[in-house]
Chain A
């Protein structure tokens, strides 16, 4: 029965399957394709959402096809559904009956016999005509074919209108990490050109596309092309950065890529979050602008100024090289937190190699003020305008300057050795007695003299040596030299006549020398300590500033470095000071103690108190007095609260030292007084001529001025070159013009000076003309003629000058006579001073100079007495020169360094510069300066020089 039923239904459905199966499959395929194309077009937008939507669409198409297939199979498994699909529209009644009959067969719940039900079903199925099924199939086929046509049309339309879009959509859809898997070409006719940065001064160049190129950083790379597909957002990309292509105005597009780093550049099309790259990249290697390379000759090295006292300067020879160009080169000095830059060279930015040199003296202020190691480097700056100028640095030459007070400590050690030697010499002399007879006596005298010579040699070595730049002060050297001469004189007496008395003379002189050396040592130590302390006070200030910096910035490394540097300098200074006697020991210990306080604060990160402690140290060092001492006591007793005595150690100068200082001060005063006396003479001799003399001279002078101009008229006004006779001739004419003006202004002295200059120029012109005889024509004759005329005028001016001087001397005679007494007194003072030679142990050179000064001053006084002002002036100058020589021999310490403690009579502290109306001395000085500066052979600048002098002294 079942088989019959199946055959019946197959018979009915066969026409349907034959007509519908194929169209339906095609329609489903087109449906899936349509969904796919739609999805790809949506995916092309490139955003995450659209790509999800695209996938959804693709899935939806597939799903629909699947559902349809599933439904078909379901229909085919149910005879009732098959019947309904085949004939329900054409024969609904018959189909309905047949379906009921099917239920009777399937259910049989009402007790109906199966055979009867099957029979009934067969009858009902038979009632359904095959034509009805054919009609239904035909209708379905039509519908399916129509749908397929529509879908195909849509797909074709999408693909034909933008087939590349579908491809891009697929590429975009498959993108991973923003990059599509399949590269596509977007630009045709690609071109690439590079324009280096302006500062390189290079031309733009074309480069092959898709090749490897090397270009300087800062180059602007231009990539041009013609778009293959319109409407794409094209860009040039290195995978990180994108520069969009823009219309180049000629149908193409261009992107300009500044090269900052090495990159692989590709053309990309951007679709939302996804790019589709072109297949071939352009590899661009960026060539960075390297920092300049600086080499410093003999670097790195260390120069220890203390160890090598012979170093006076440090040669700095450098070479700077840059790949593109140098802008400037500096010498950089660094010490601790201090830095100083000095420009060695400024360049145009195109020079790629520069060599140079510089001589840095060890006396340079920066080195002198530095007590921490000084790093010397040469640094060169390039011209990089893209990433900014870069400094290239050489390796350093490190200068280790002496610690504060170290040279002085070395000097002190040498003087101590001298003192020890003198002590031993004294002991040797004290322990010996003059033997009563030869040969012991001869041996004694020989040994005595040898000992004195050795002392002298030792003294000479000590005073001649430089101690890391410090020397024994000239005044002290002169003082010790004088004392040594006293020993030598006593020694000579022993050699001549050995006796207990002469030997005692040597012992006394040796004692005196030892005491003088000892007192000088103490005084010098004290003075050096004060100097070192003041220098260290600035370092302590720096330490305090570092602590303050640390306090504000919560202990930055820079502040720590600054404090460490200051600490090192202070520790070194303290060590040096401790070797400078009692005051030095006292202050050196204080520095150590206060540094411990600062260190305590730093260790506890208590920078506030560290700063206060450093400020305390600075304040203390600015008052480099002994820690304790009373100034107003005359005895040794001490009360409880009053010390009652100075505690400054043995600083008081010895009597010999005091006498020597007194003599030096007397000499200073004598030289100053004599200079004043010279000013008085100048003033006396500059008595103006009478009105009648002036009128007479002026009339004559005007006529001679005209003659001077007339005489030099044949000379050229402008020279044809520095080595031509015309140049010399023009100079002669200029001098002659000055002479003429001087005559008109009533100044014969200036006229003579200028006239002689003119004659000199004419002589040079004549020699030059003789050498150029073939080209200079009759120049020699003209020059000779001019010279002859001018010589006469100069002689006339000289006569006038001599007459005027003579008349001035006659008028000044009474005043000169008065001044002669003053000059004589000064000569007496010089004599008295020279006579103190033995008593005060003045150096021979000083005594000899004083003798000569006395003689010259007496001669000047005699000349004044007889009214010979010019002679008096010459002698006075000689005397002054001798006095200055005597000062040199004594050493100019008093004037240069100020008085030491215990000095008297020389005011200390602030000294006002006397004003113009203060008193006569300064006024005389002014006049001398004015005369000196304003009356020289300054040619055309004479007036300007005079005004300058006036300005200086106003």
Chain B
């Protein structure tokens, strides 16, 4: 016989155990861990977003619990993570397990399909196979060089990256997960394979850099005969990385490219060639030629536009527009706009931050543009015009080169003297003229030809190189040093730039000079 006291205790004991039992039942009824992971849903999306934000640790953590699951969406994100971290072989292994045609990247802002991702991974694996990687742990820079001789410019790459990151942090509040990954490829075909940009599009527009998959893929300066402004290009592409990360890859193309164009020169001291040709003038000419494209219809990439002229006009449009937007808005507008894009579409974000929508901004900008005086654009920029006697000038220049190459400097001068008009603003022509004068022992005249940046329409490696060389031989280090710096920013593998001489031997002793000597391009008129 149980006493009432005992009965009470028993009831109380059952009551105390009830929650425990309930939890135990709940646990036993819940799907096993693996089964729960079969519907990865949010985890995959969170991982995709983390990857887009270049927060690879967070992405890895999100995907860690899902790796055991044979889920194709998980595989795609794991592959994407590998691609972002530069492990292309692993990305291929993950994606090649089954036909990835039907797979999509989980993140809503992405338009990448599994098949495309596999192709890119394969291209990346092929291009980066057995290449060399240089690291600067202190600076947080990791550079892969397809051409190992390009390692000579690694210090310049690090310097540019560090300065550009600082400028972007200052201007846009960008933060940088380290290391910053950069790949220098040898040609457009490799650039295309690494990034997924169609090869024909790359050739059509002359694309030299792409920021995608968390990496800047950029063309080696030696790919181009006379180089190209590769340091500004690097800064431009780093801006894309920052904008992508800040906006969760939701920034429209005009904003991406406009900001990148603004920032590509802000990492360094201003150059006399900044803003030349004026973007406004190019836009005005583009409008005349009907080459302009509405800002919201630029397509997936400027590199996909039908011609280099169209790309030039598009770049000028977005540069002019974003510069206008920045000028008319309070400080920090661009940074706030990028932040707003993380949570709302571009129209809403623009209205939220600036109180005006894109249409209103576009109208204001175009109105401002139409009120500006039409700047004269040199016919050397093309865009529908061509310098008179361009063909003749080209022939004369070539004859001068050939005569110079055979040691007939005075006769070469006679040929080049017959070239007149706008075409004399071509920096390569100025370079040739200076070389001829130098060969004719008229160093003073030669220096005068290349002294004034205003005398040429655009920056050019050879122009800067001979300017520096002539200044150096005149003992003017103040002009020589920045000239060579600019020359190296365009054409670092020219002997004239890196060795500061045109003699077959001698000159500066540096890694870049050694690389230039190995590259060994024929001198003028001896090609």
Contact = CB atoms under 8 A, between A and B. Distances in A.
B382 A634 contact: yes
Interface string A598-611: 10110000100111
B205 A589 contact: no
A641 B223 contact: no
23 contacts: A423-B408, A430-B414, A514-B399, A589-B222, A590-B186, A598-B130, A612-B125, A612-B126, A620-B187, A620-B190, A628-B187, A628-B224, A632-B307, A632-B310, A634-B386, A639-B312, A640-B232, A640-B236, A641-B208, A641-B209, A641-B315, A643-B205, A643-B228
Contacts of A598: 130
B521 A634 contact: no
A903 interface: no
Interface stretch (A70-78, A647-655, A844-852): A647-655
Contacts of A628: 187-188, 206, 208, 219, 223-224, 228
Contact of B411 (A427, A633, A635, A641): A427
Interface stretch (B30-38, B94-102, B144-152, B347-355): B144-152
Among A518, A590, A634, find the residue whose CB has the most chain B CB atoms closer than 10 A.
Answer: A634
A427 B403 contact: yes
B383 interface: yes
B72 interface: no
Contacts of A612: 125-126, 129-130
B130 A637 contact: no
Contacts of B303: 641-642
Q: Chain B interface secondary structure, helix, strand, loop or mixed?
A: helix
Interface in B129-171: 129-132, 146-149
Interface in A626-679: 627-645, 647, 649-650, 654-655
A430 B416 CA distance: 14
Contacts of B232: 640
B67 interface: no
Contacts of B384: 634
A625 interface: yes
A619 to B, nearest CB: 7
A582 B527 contact: yes
A521 to B, nearest CB: 9
Contact of B458 (A424, A427, A625, A636): A636
Given A585-B521, A615-B126, A643-B208, 12 more contacts: A609-B129, A610-B130, A612-B125, A620-B190, A628-B188, A628-B206, A628-B224, A634-B382, A635-B383, A636-B426, A643-B207, A643-B308
Contacts of A581: 527
A818 B266 CA distance: 76
Contact of B130 (A597, A625, A644): A597
A685 B2 CA distance: 133
A637 B395 CA distance: 20
Contacts of A364: none
A483 B307 CA distance: 36
Contacts, number: 213
Interface of B: 125-127, 129-132, 146-149, 186-190, 193, 199, 203-209, 219-220, 222-225, 228-229, 232-233, 236, 260-261, 264, 277, 302-303, 306-312, 315, 379-384, 386, 391, 395, 398-399, 402-403, 405-406, 408, 411, 414, 426, 428, 457-458, 519, 521-522, 527
A41 interface: no
A619 B146 CA distance: 15
A610 B129 CA distance: 7
Interface string A572-585: 00000000011001
B92 to A, nearest CB: 10
A647 B225 contact: yes
A2 interface: no
Nearest to B425: A636
A565 interface: no
B399 A515 contact: yes
Given A430-B411, A633-B307, A636-B381, A644 B186 contact: no
A628 B207 CA distance: 8
Which 6 A/B pairs are nearest by Cβ-Cβ distance? A635-B382, A632-B307, A630-B206, A643-B206, A634-B382, A612-B129
Contacts of A311: none
A630 B308 contact: yes
B131 A597 contact: yes
A620 B147 CA distance: 14
Contact of A423 (B147, B261, B402, B522): B402
Q: Chain A interface secondary structure, helix, strand, loop or mixed?
A: helix
Given A630-B206, A635-B382, A515 B130 contact: no
A420 interface: yes
A645 B386 CA distance: 14
A159 interface: no
A640 B237 CA distance: 10
Nearest to A525: B527
Given A620-B189, A645-B206, A640 B264 contact: yes
B278 to A, nearest CB: 11
A731 interface: no
A511 interface: yes
A533 to B, nearest CB: 12
B148 A596 contact: yes
B346 to A, nearest CB: 22
A202 interface: no
Contacts of A589: 222, 519
Interface string A113-155: 0000000000000000000000000000000000000000000
B186 A640 contact: no
A423 B403 contact: yes
Contacts of A641: 205-209, 233, 236, 302-303, 311, 315
A430 B408 CA distance: 10
B129 A634 contact: no
Nearest to B149: A593
Contacts of A430: 408, 411, 414
A598 to B, nearest CB: 7
A642 B311 contact: yes
Nearest to A616: B126
B129 A638 contact: no
Among B391, B399, B458, find the residue whose CB has the most chain A CB atoms closer than 10 A.
Answer: B399
Nearest to A420: B406
A465 interface: no
Given A596-B148, A623-B199, A643-B208, A638 B402 contact: no
A637 B277 contact: yes
A606 B190 CA distance: 21
B366 to A, nearest CB: 21
A419 B411 CA distance: 16
A640 B233 contact: yes
A611 B125 CA distance: 11
Among B130, B204, B209, B315, find the residue whose CB has the most chain A CB atoms closer than 10 A.
Answer: B130
A861 B25 CA distance: 107
Contacts of B264: 640
Among A615, A641, A654, find the residue whose CB has the most chain B CB atoms closer than 10 A.
Answer: A641
Among A420, A606, A611, A639, find the residue whose CB has the most chain B CB atoms closer than 10 A.
Answer: A639
A615 B45 CA distance: 35
Among B126, B199, B309, B380, find the residue whose CB has the most chain A CB atoms closer than 10 A.
Answer: B126
A814 B205 CA distance: 58
Given A633-B308, A655-B391, A606 B228 contact: no
B381 A637 contact: yes
A642 B307 CA distance: 10
Nearest to A587: B187
Contacts of A423: 402-403, 405-406, 408
B399 A640 contact: no
A426 interface: yes
A627 B186 contact: yes
A426 B404 CA distance: 12
A431 interface: yes
A638 B403 contact: no
A221 interface: no
Contacts of A596: 148
A581 B411 CA distance: 25
